[in-house]
Structure 1
Amino acid sequence: MPIPMVLDILFPPTLFLTGASVLTLLSLVILGVLEIRGINLKYSKFVNTASSSSSSSSISFKVPSRVGMLLIYTPAFLVGVASFWLYPADDSRFLFLKSAVTIHFFKRLFEVIFIHKYSGKMSLDTMIIILVSYFCLSLIYTQTFNQGLSEPSIDLKYLGIVLFLVGISGNFYHHYLLSKLRTKGDKEYKIPKGGLFELVICPHYLFEILEFLGINLISQTLYSFSVTLGSAFYLMCRSYVTRKWYISKFEDFPKEVKALIPFVF
């Protein structure tokens, strides 16, 4: 993308934010590469496949997955709520951003309590990695650097709101479909059906990327762009590994079903 166009759609970054953006992107890329190499975050279907699980030096303390997710999402949601008090502003862009991040974590808490079905446990080290990787919370703080600056000449925040709503709705719907695969007490994995599961194995990741893209367009900062790009790369890697897992577990897995992007990847 030509530099003048970038300047038209992004707030000018400070040196600090540029460095934070690079570090954030690299961190998420590393997590994605580790997924491809078989060093998976130990939750969901990969709880027993991470190579680090056999290491005597790894943190072995585990909690039920539902408890672990609640411990992860609750502080993030509370920070989102507190941001309305910590950073009061009349700026509609900032208000939309705080609202989107808070709604994002509220939905996740709602799903943990009422939607998702869990069958395993989560290790403490995985909880810590997931918790510290919630860069979207720092989107609120980094947005304060732009208060008082001139708005980008191309305003994308309303398009961002639309993409955010489409992404969060699609993500919720496909999580709901996943929850219906198991009856009470059932711990066996099954091939997902319905919705975009007929085309890709991880449509919930696809919609999550749209959700992050929406937040990026609401924010319009270099830092939000790095979070979106890094998150998309990580979820692409995670979906690739997920598809490989399904192929290895189910002989009747439909080979035409892609990992993340219908008909393409």
Structure 2
Amino acid sequence: MQQFWWEVESPAERWLLAALGCGLGGLGLVLALVLRCVQLPYGRYASPSFGPGLPARAAWFVQELPALLVPLVLSSGAARLHHSPNRVLLGLFLMHYLHRALIFPFLIRGGKPTPLITFLLAFIFCLFNGYLQGRSLSNYAEYPSDWLKHPCFIAGFAGWLIGMVINIHSDHILRSLRKPGETGYKIPKRGMFEYVTGANFFGEILEWFGFALACCTIESAGFAMCTLFILASRARQHHEWYLEKFEDYPKSRKIVIPFLY
């Protein structure tokens, strides 16, 4: 029977995945520093000067899809997926992108066009990270048979679940700010927005740090760190924008980490 390349394991690729995981965390730090000087064009910060724009729903759907499809392809015939921990952990990753690619885009109300450069960067990231997490969990990550009862998995799963709920709920609050036909921006309230400006970002950060704890792999840790650096930068940008635009914006709110930052 013919064996596809993604069904083959090698020490060289194992090393490469670990190196890419470390590099992903470092990339997040570099991008966070760059974003302090260069404003990424998306949403309220986008303008015609950044080039052609794509319809928001279509852009979200296409850019997030690789993180869902690539791991599914890599899981075909993968030896590690005979083990329950690997299947469950990969399932957590896929559940997030099932929502982000197939549900979230169709909940968007209006939405400014997505600049082509922003779309391409997001697409490349999802393609890369889909390979990194999918390949690691499908072919290389090793766990004891009782890993799903281990404190690391239980605590990590709880963090992943709570983070995903916060992220989805916060997105719902943001969508509900405008009534049909309304334009402009309002101060978000309720939920985690009572504590931080970037409540949706906080949820996603918590989600991926929980995932990293549940996985205990270099690849998942690199993804969590990259998420923290980039989303914290975006949250800071939002925080400064709200403070400048609204005189009555709550001064007690932190940027993205409740009570801390």
From 123, 133, 147, give the equivalent of 2:115.
123
After the TM superposition, which of the residue ranges 132-141 and 154-163 deviates more from structure 2? 154-163
Identity in percent = 24
* Offset at residue 131 of structure 1 (A): 1.4
Give 2:3's aligned residue: none
Map 1:1-265 to 2 at 5 A: 14-40=14-40, 42-48=41-47, 54=49, 60-87=51-78, 89-108=81-100, 109-114=102-107, 116-134=108-126, 135-137=128-130, 138-146=132-140, 156-265=152-261
Q: Please give the alpha-carbon distance, in whole angstroms, between the structure 2 residues aligned to 1:253 and 1:86.
A: 53
For the 8 Å contact 1:43–1:65, the answer to whether it is kept is no
* Offset at residue 145 of structure 1 (A): 4.7
Q: Please give the alpha-carbon distance, in whole angstroms, between the structure 2 residues aligned to 1:178 and 1:83.
A: 35
Normalising to structure 2: TM-score of the pair? 0.83
For the 8 Å contact 1:171–1:204, the answer to whether it is kept is yes
Structure 2 unmatched ranges of 5 or more: 1-12
* Offset at residue 201 of structure 1 (A): 0.8
How many residue pairs match? The answer is 243
Deviations 1:44-102 (CA, angstroms, capped at 9, x unpaired) = 22213xxxx74xxx6x2321111211111233323344444353622122111221111
Structure 1 unmatched ranges of 5 or more: 1-12
Deviations 1:94-116 (CA, angstroms, capped at 9, x unpaired) = 111221111101111312212x3
SS at match of 2:114: strand
* CA pair 136-249 structure 1, distance change in 2 beyond 3 A: same
Give 2:10's aligned residue: none
Q: Please give the alpha-carbon distance, in whole angstroms, between the structure 1 residues aligned to 2:67 and 2:92.
A: 13
* Offset at residue 30 of structure 1 (A): 2.0
* Offset at residue 224 of structure 1 (A): 1.2
Q: Please give the alpha-carbon distance, in whole angstroms, between the structure 2 residues aligned to 1:178 and 1:186.
A: 13
After the TM superposition, which of the residue ranges 144-153 and 90-99 deviates more from structure 2? 144-153
**For the aligned residues, what is the CA RMSD?**
2.5
Give 1:4's aligned residue: none
Instruction: In structure 1, give the amino acid aligned to 2:161.
Output: L
* Offset at residue 205 of structure 1 (A): 0.9
